[in-house]
Amino acid sequence: MTSYKEHLKRRAEFRRRLLRAKDRRQPGRRPRNPTSERILSQLMVARYRRWLASGRLERLGPRRWRFNPNIPDLADAPPDTPK
């Protein structure tokens, strides 16, 4: 079992290492290229508008929203069959 002083020493050392490592990029945090960033933003806006139109997402107030997962997404609906 480690003593309390040893614990504090290890904790301080860990903090120093953590602060030094902050300058480096974290794993899995590679910046996206501008093309994929733009495409993902367009997909997100399209999904947001689709959910508002279908009632799956409701705006209750300036900062309050309600998500209704039981309402099917319009993108998941089967295509209309031609007559």
Q: Tell me the pLDDT of the chain (83 aa) as tens digits.
A: 778 888 888 888 888 887 777 666 666 677 788 899 899 999 999 999 999 999 999 999 989 999 998 888 777 766 666 65
Overall domain count for the chain: 1
Q: Is residue 46 part of a domain?
A: yes
Q: How many residues are recorded in the chain?
A: 83
Helices (H), 1-83: 4-21, 34-54
**pTM of the complete model beyond 0.75:** no
In this structure, the strands spanning 57-59 and 65-67 are antiparallel
Name the residue range of residue 52's domain. 42-76
Q: Is residue 27 part of a domain?
A: no
Q: Is residue 11 part of a domain?
A: no
Q: Is residue 3 part of a domain?
A: no
pLDDT score of 83 = 56
Report residue 28 as tokens.
């899995």
